Structure 1
């Protein structure tokens, strides 16, 4: 007969409030919360890991580009105030040698999109963009802002004039403002792509291609043929090209540390 536990109540493994029962450790709590976060954010419990930290930073622009006005919560948005600090950090971080820009956007705020485009174009490090799904409206200059651009074979880019929504003051100055804003977009695209001004404006003001709108929906191969995008390809080709640009910049000796 065992008298070791005589006079002490037995431990109840099903009762977590039992003072005799050891509770979960802090490490176990952190692991559980980490798993829950991954499931909520990514839909899976783990993500592919690398043995060493990558020298390429991936920046995604999805949904609608949110500018000075906050969009409804049901909209999938990319907030420009989130992207700008990342772009600055990419330029400053010596461990990051290249930027991969992935776009699947319907467009959005013109000034916010131009701000992002100008920042990407002014980076001293190699940049490659890839349009997956769609890079519409103000997404066109963002896609062109990289030093080399790709588009998926089935991806599209909608080119149309600049427009305003909401209350508009019906005076000549309003239309002059719209025209100047549009010229900013046109000049940026012409500067950072191989498309001609006449062809770009022809696509922008074309009638009959878009339902209830003016403009053109350009598919992958056509975007390359027009000179808007450099090459048709996917993620593999984009990363390969980016690595080539990184090695080329290192060999030239002008790599910024």
Structure 2
């Protein structure tokens, strides 16, 4: 009995893989090491409100259920997260970071280009974290756009939200809360704002990332986790 998939079935499977890359920025590859799900987080992380037309976005309502399905899947052995993000919605980004950090499966995050703002919690959420030598991170206080009520309660909310981010980053990396706040409030790197810009080696020296590396390094780190 012939069990080989028919040509239409093969084409349908290939079309499904292409659609997954286009719609969700993710792909699944199986090799001698096992099955790896590769997820990209790019552009602006979109929250409850839609980003302006023409803006590249990562939508949290796509990523959260996808991460849950990866964690529950018996076919996927590991997750590789590729990051090139300008940041975006704070709570949406933090929600995705919590999901990645809470996974039991092997996870590796790799920052390529930039992992700015709320992208930093995402970058440190993996069990192993890498950053390309030319990649950068912008660490700054929370910024809000739109109408705000200038009341003590509003500023207290900002402060508590910023504390949540600081605690998460410190808990999932080797930087202290105090040092992260110092970088966040530094006035030496930006002409019209406070904050810090760190690059690959600097991020590792500060304890934000585990090491500098490229795609092959990230995959090797993931394979080692999958073999354990």
TM band (smaller chain): 0.7 to 0.9
- In 2, the alpha carbon distance for the partners of 1:87 and 1:172 equals 37
Q: 2:151 matched to which residue of 1? A: 171
CA distance in 2, matches of 1:142, 1:50: 25
1:149 to 129, 138, 142: 129
Deviations 1:103-147 (A, max 9, x none): 000000000011001111010101000000000000000010110
Instruction: Say which SS state the counterpart of residue 226 (structure 2) adopts.
Output: helix
5+ unaligned residues in a row in structure 1: which ranges? 1-26, 249-257
Are the counterparts in 1 of residues 45 and 87 from structure 2 also a CA contact under 8 Å?
Answer: yes
Aligned match of 2:116 in 136, 139, 153? 136
**Partner of residue 97, structure 1:** 77
Q: Measure how far apart 1:51 and its partner are.
A: 7.2
Tell me, in whole angstroms, the C-alpha distance in 2 between the residues paired with 1:53 and 1:149. Answer: 20
1:72 aligned counterpart, secondary structure: coil
Distance in 2, Cα, partners of 1:96 & 1:213? 43
Task: Report the number of matched residues.
Answer: 211
Q: Could you tell me which residue of structure 1 aligns to residue 43 of structure 2?
A: 63
1:234/1:51 Cα in 2 relative to 1: closer, same or farther (>3 Å)? closer
Counterpart mapping for 1:85-234 below 5 A: 85-234=65-214
CA distance in 2, matches of 1:129, 1:65: 16
* Counterparts of 1:111 and 1:121, CA distance in 2: 15
The residue aligned with 1:237 is 217
| Alpha-carbon distance between aligned partners in 2 of 1:243 and 1:211, rounded to the nearest angstrom | 43
- Greater gyration radius: 1
Superposition TM-score, scaled by structure 1 size: 0.77
Q: 2:125 and 2:81 mapped to 1: Cα distance?
A: 10
Q: Offset at 1:208? A: 2.7
Q: Give the whole-Å Cα distance in 2 for the aligned partners of 1:179 and 1:85.
A: 29
Is this contact kept in 1: 2:36–2:76, CA < 8 A? yes
Moved over 6 A (4+): 49-53
Offset of residue 211 of structure 1: 2.9
- Separation of aligned partners in 1, 2:191 and 2:70: 40
Higher strand share: 2
Note if contact 2:34-2:77 (Cα within 8 Å) is conserved in structure 1: no
